A and B are shown apart, each in its own frame.
Chain A
Amino acid sequence: MLRTGLLVSLVAAGIGLAGTAHAQQKTVYMPAILELSGAGAVSGTNFRDGMLMAIDEINKAGGILGHKIETPVLDTQSDAGTSRAQLQKVLDNNPYVVFGPVFSGSVLVTQLMTLKAEIPEIVGGEAAAITQKNNAYVFRTSFGQQFSMPKIANYIHDSIKAKSVAVVWVNNDFGKGGRDNFTKEMKDRGINIAADISTEVGQADFSADVVKLKGANADAVFVYLNEEESARFLKEAKKQGIKAPLIGETTLLGQKVIDLAGGAAEGVQGHVGLTVDAPIKAVQDFAAKFKQRFNYVCDHNGIKGYTGVYFVKYVTEKIGKFDSKAFAEKAHGITITPKDEPGILMEAMWDKNGDIDRESFLGEVVDGKQKIVKTLPMLSKK
């Protein structure tokens, strides 16, 4: 009987019977559910570290409205089902806002729950569908694909002057969403899709895909893969001597990809929504602090995490209280400039759907570094 009792108490402790300790005075509970293991570990870890930097800075300066930020970070294992379970765990403790996830599939499942609970969710996902569901509680920290793809399409049309393009994409919700938006933009501009090559998450060997790519003989190649797969693809493309320009969207030009790909990333071009190489002093200062603290070069996900926390701080100070509903109402249509809140790094605006608008960049990889060649204005300021 004693043994049974012990077993029952162990089980109960494991599934959350024990009381929570977050309800301390003068703290605000803003948990994060992120991809710390699995296919999204690079993105999730960057997002987490960016967040932690912002939280430490804010807490050192007295917190938000005098409350220290309390942010436990829970791993989603890059899996939608686990994300759902972890979100339920944090919702049980009445959070003010929730940060993450970064993977779009995980955002699609968790956003249904935060909508029901009326808790704002500050996400890193880029799939177009995220902000097309009339959800008043989801806010992006980077461009959705419906905004980034027209920019990359203009670049291919106006600067590269390509008549045909091959698309290499990862067959998950992120890659498929990007591919669908990209091909639509290409058709609108009269550019022919010479090859449409889907690849697997975690794929190690890209030799067959690159052979197919060579056969297509396209004027340009658009690569839309996750970080590690991007690096493997670039190595194979270099090995097989692909001559057409390799164009990417943010990830392909990320420092992590450049480092993993070695020299194979040289000459890669594309659109970059967020980058630590942006010709903006605040961004570069942030990048230096990040490197000093974590000993690696931050990618765009780190900036998303960092600015996401400052976005919450600014909106909360505007409403003057920790009220999740009021936050969601106030955040729609808000514009934050670095003058208002230095931690936001670049002027940013959130529209009625929770989509973000800010300046973005055209870049190129030169000497193992991302080089910004042009700054594109905010969409709302064109």
Chain B
Amino acid sequence: MRRLGPSALAIAGVVAIGLPFLLKPFGVYLISMWAVLTIAAIGLNLTLGYAGQVSMAQGAFVGIGAYTVALLTAAGWPFFVAFILGGALCFVIGWLLGYPALRVQHHYLAFVTLAFNTLVFLVLRNEEWLTRGSYGIAGTDRPSLFGFSTDNARAFYFVCLAILVLLSAATWWMMRSPWGRAFVALRENPIRALSLGLDTRRYTLMAFALGSTLGGLAGGLYAPLVQFIEPGSFSLNMSFNLLLMVIVGGSGRFFGPFVGALIAVLLPEWMRIAEGYYLIVYAMLVMVLMVFCPTGVLGLFEKAFRPKKAPPPAPATLKAEVTR
């Protein structure tokens, strides 16, 4: 990141602001979706990439946030109140989901979170009195800001972008605070972290809660972006897709989710030139990517741009022998 420097960030900022003025509504919709999914992927990166807690439930948190906003705004609540409540609800549920992580790890934890995702899907589908079940909820309104409607695709993109920038900055700050270092310590060596006096229990729960909150906030934008939500949208597929974004982008790297979401949203669209084979081509490209760069796209970049180290000096005795 330091090597890329502020100039790369400035270029990315100019592109992010200027692009919607060059695009048709479909393009604006896609980059809005990228912004929304990036927020959810940042959350998962926090839980999985930094804190090392395997979570397959991020899609469920996106769903909880989306339904909270859709139901509350339909009941007349202001969008931003509903949006924050959605995030807060996910914080609480994420904290509770963190408790199993205190007892099980790795693939066992993956199964626990996977079961949670299925549970949320079933609640969304079966509790019809609350969620309208399989029929879904259509027409969630986009918010108004200071009297200006964001119903227009471009205006709503800027809402998504602004929230993405805010949440990214907050995450950036947090990862450089003692909390961030505690998360990394938790991932690298929890026993050593504990022996150094780190409250690993609290940080595990916090990693889940914060990651889930970002998922919920992403969901709060997903509902007014798509303007139709149904339980099927938040099944395991969504969680797998978010996991793919984190891994492909570069797990544990700050900009990994940005790149991963870009690939997951845009690559299938590019591949549509392959017509009936586009999903096969997409899947194969992802597999090839993972084979050749298991550390994700950013890992590949880091490897490519890492300055070559000078070979270590030969031991003195060997040097002497060579001289002789």
Contacts and interface: CB of A to CB of B under 8 A. Distances in A.
Chains A and B are bound partners: yes
Interface of A: 4, 8, 11-17, 36-37, 74-75, 77, 79-81, 84-85, 88-89, 91-92, 105, 108-109, 112, 129, 171-173, 175-177, 201
Q: Which 8 A-B pairs have the closest CB atoms?
A: A109-B228, A15-B27, A92-B24, A16-B27, A89-B26, A176-B134, A14-B270, A88-B26
B6 interface: no
B62 to A, nearest CB: 11
A172 B232 contact: yes
Given A15-B30, A85-B29, A112-B228, A79 B233 contact: yes
Interface in B120-170: 125, 133-136, 138-139
A74 B276 CA distance: 9
Chain B: number of interface residues, binned into ranges: 35 or more
Contacts, number: 96
A17 B28 CA distance: 10
Contact of B135 (A15, A77, A129): A129
Contacts of A177: 135
Interface in B190-241: 226-228, 230, 232-233
B22 interface: yes
A16 B33 CA distance: 14
A85 B30 contact: yes
B266 interface: yes
B125 A171 contact: yes
B33 A17 contact: no
Given A15-B27, A109-B138, A109-B226, 18 more contacts: A4-B11, A12-B23, A14-B270, A15-B26, A15-B269, A16-B23, A16-B27, A80-B233, A84-B227, A88-B25, A105-B134, A108-B136, A108-B138, A112-B138, A112-B139, A172-B134, A173-B135, A176-B134
Contacts of A173: 134-136, 230
B15 interface: yes
Given A14-B270, A15-B269, A108-B138, A84 B24 contact: no
Nearest to A11: B266
A17 B22 contact: yes
B227 A105 contact: no
B272 interface: yes
B278 interface: yes
A44 to B, nearest CB: 12
A95 to B, nearest CB: 13
A16 B133 CA distance: 35
Contacts of B226: 80-81, 84, 109
B174 interface: no
A105 B11 contact: no
Contacts of B15: 8
Nearest to A113: B227
Given A80-B230, A108-B138, A12 B29 contact: no
Contacts of A171: 125, 134
A15 B26 CA distance: 7
Most buried by A among B25, B26, B134, B233: B134
20 contacts: A4-B11, A8-B15, A14-B266, A15-B26, A16-B27, A17-B27, A75-B279, A79-B232, A79-B233, A80-B228, A80-B233, A84-B226, A85-B33, A91-B25, A92-B24, A92-B26, A105-B228, A109-B136, A109-B227, A112-B227
A335 B133 CA distance: 36
B24 A16 contact: yes
A11 B12 CA distance: 12
B125 A11 contact: no
B31 interface: yes
Contacts of B134: 105, 171-173, 175-176
Contacts of A8: 15
A89 B28 CA distance: 10
A15 B23 contact: yes
A17 B136 CA distance: 32
